[in-house]
Amino acid sequence: MTDKKQRILDSALKLFAQEGYSAVSTNRIAQDASVSEGLIFKHFDNKEGLLLALKEKAELRIHEIYAYLSEKKNPIHVIESFIDIPFTIDPSEYDFWRLQFMLKWDNRYYMPDKMDNIKNLLTESFHELNYEFPREEAEALDHMIESISIGILRDGMDRHKKQRNFLKKKYKISIASI
């Protein structure tokens, strides 16, 4: 990965995440990255290639998260770590995740849930803890975390911090006060 190729990806990610894929021209990406427009096509064939390159990274990251969760032995720890996910994203990665969430609305690039593995892990965990409806419990928690993630990506982490401890309390994970 050359320096300029990386800069193209950085600029594309930033602009796509801020304004949407269709609203950003290859010209603007080139300018933002201080690179000739032609270079984009040398490296990524076409505009869509740029987007696909960004999506590949996302799949890797999701798999990393899954791997991290699945090595936990205690089901309580799986649930706790899952709740922690949106609160441990580094703000420098917000653009990256924002783009992934935006793409979920685009049928062309929406992949029917890569997160399913993680949901299964949660279901198992709730099952081990003898919850009555582990599948539904997992979906409910997943929904909350998805929605909290969206909130954080849209207006920062501060407004959502309270939810973290509240949820942990709800799932009887021992920690400090709310």
Partner DNA sequence: CATAAAAGTGAGTACTCACTTACTAAGTTA
Partner DNA sequence: TAACTTAGTAAGTGAGTACTCACTTTTATG
| Residues engaged in binding DNA (CB under 7 A) | 2-5, 24-28, 35-39, 41-43, 45-48
Q: CB of 17 within 8 A of CB of 99?
A: yes
167 binds its own copies (CB under 8 A): yes
φ and ψ at residue 92, rounded to 5 degrees? -65, -15
49-57, 88-96, 118-126, 160-168 -> range binding its own copies (CB under 8 A): 160-168
Q: Which is nearer to its own copies, 43 or 153 (CB)?
A: 153
Task: Tally Cβ neighbours within 10 Å of residue 168.
Answer: 19
Residue 170 lies near its own copies (rule: CB under 8 A): yes
Residue with tokens 């709800």: 170
* Burial status of residue 8 (CB atoms within 10 A of its CB: 0-12, 13-18, 19 or more): buried
User: According to the binding rule CB under 8 A, does residue 105 interact with its own copies?
Assistant: yes
Q: Which residues contact 108 (CB under 8 A, 6 or more apart)?
A: none
Instruction: Report the site for its own copies in 54-73 (rule: CB under 8 A).
Output: none
Residues sharing a CB contact under 8 Å with residue 35, sequence separation 6 or more, in sequence order? 4, 7, 8
Asked whether position 139 contacts its own copies by CB under 8 A, the answer is yes
Q: Closest approach of Cβ 15 to DNA, in Å? A: 10
Residues that bind its own copies (CB under 8 A): 18-23, 98, 101-102, 104-107, 110, 112, 133, 135-137, 139-140, 142-144, 146-148, 150-151, 154-155, 162-163, 166-167, 170, 178
